[in-house]
Structure 1
């Protein structure tokens, strides 16, 4: 009798406990899924953007300005320093550029005849060198004048009177010959032409004030002296 009563009591206890356990399990699962859904639906809060650090611009910068010959350098506020513009030049600088442009132009005209007329490959190579160097040099000189607002033309000047410039008749004669005759005449005319350019450049080195033009004139005198020597060597081989 006692065993029967114990079994009955156990059955009744299970009947009461099992629904409670099931309720607790279901409630726990629902809360977890609801929390996950809410987490998924909630928009992510963007991280605050980093603010770039800007260093303040110093206002006390100074520049060391060189003094004139015999004077000590001085310091000036940076905002007081301005671009000095084109380098100072004088009338002889301008004259040199205006004379050298047509001088180079005639040298190019002679060099352009060589590919179809010269017999010696060294003459053709020399002509190519003249075209490669003097073409850009003409651009440099024209740019120098334009930067300073100066025209390239000289009113009333006959460029044919410059040393080394060849007459129209001499140019026609050079264009009419070929082979060894062309080589010989080309060397003769180009040598005289180079000598004229060297004289112009050398004169500028003594009276010009623009440093860029002085460097250019020195280069012209040096390179064309070398080219004269090469042309003479071609004829004496």
Structure 2
């Protein structure tokens, strides 16, 4: 009889302990548990100098690609070049917004206007940009493709550095997406240049 009373007295304590353990298991972030908002934010904020440099440099780089592509319709680009320009604008505009969001999350500032104007890998000089603005029709198509190949190659180089040395998962994933998309576009553009039959087209095709 004494033993039975003792067991009954211990039972509520044991049940309470089970409830506590269950509650702890549900919020402790163990195996199989969904990450909390705080954990997700912490992971997004994890970055190094390479990540910050990638975002800072890629923002003006992408912005110039969009600016180049926005000239296509105004400058009477051919169908193939217009389709490519639309594709580049549609992809890189949203990426610019994501990159700016990363810098904000990390408490980092974008490049100043003066620094952004400096030539980086693949960036057009002011004279090259002026030439592109003046070109129309097939002349625009040829120049756009030649300059965008160089522009993309610069972006791929920057993205590969991020993949190799970065630590932020979001930035590294974007870098991988940039490499995949832009290497494919480089191949397509070199093919279009080769089909044009011009000296510049034959040179670009040979380089590919």
**The one of 158, 161, 174 aligned to 1:200:** 158
**The one of 24, 36, 42 aligned to 1:86:** 42
- Give how far 1:219 is off: 0.5
Which structure shows the higher helix fraction? Answer: 2
Structure 2 matches for 1:49-128, cutoff 5 A? 58-60=19-21, 61-62=24-25, 63=28, 65=30, 83-84=38-39, 85-87=41-43, 88-128=46-86
Q: Does the 8 A contact of 2:57 with 2:111 survive in 1?
A: no
| TM-score (structure 1 length as normaliser) | 0.65
- Give how far 1:154 is off: 4.8
- Between 1 and 2, higher relative CO (CA 8 Å, sep ≥ 6) is seen in 2
Equivalent residue, structure 2, for 1:172: 130
Number of residue pairs matched by the alignment: 168
Aligned-residue Cα RMSD (Å) equals 2.3
1:234 equivalenced with 2:192 (yes/no): yes
Residues 1-38 of structure 1, C-alpha deviation per residue, up to 9 Å, x if partnerless?
A: xxxxxxxxxxxxxxxxxxxxxxxxxxxxxxxxxxxxxx
Report SS of the residue matched to 2:47: coil
Q: Does the 8 A contact of 2:60 with 2:116 survive in 1?
A: no
- Give how far 1:231 is off: 1.2
| TM-score (structure 2 length as normaliser) | 0.74
Report SS of the residue matched to 1:152: coil
- Give how far 1:157 is off: 3.4
Residues 71-97 of structure 1, C-alpha deviation per residue, up to 9 Å, x if partnerless?
A: xxxxxxx9xx88233321101100110
How far, CA to CA, are the matches of 2:135 and 2:154 in structure 1? Answer: 24
How far, CA to CA, are the matches of 1:196 and 1:207 in structure 2? Answer: 17
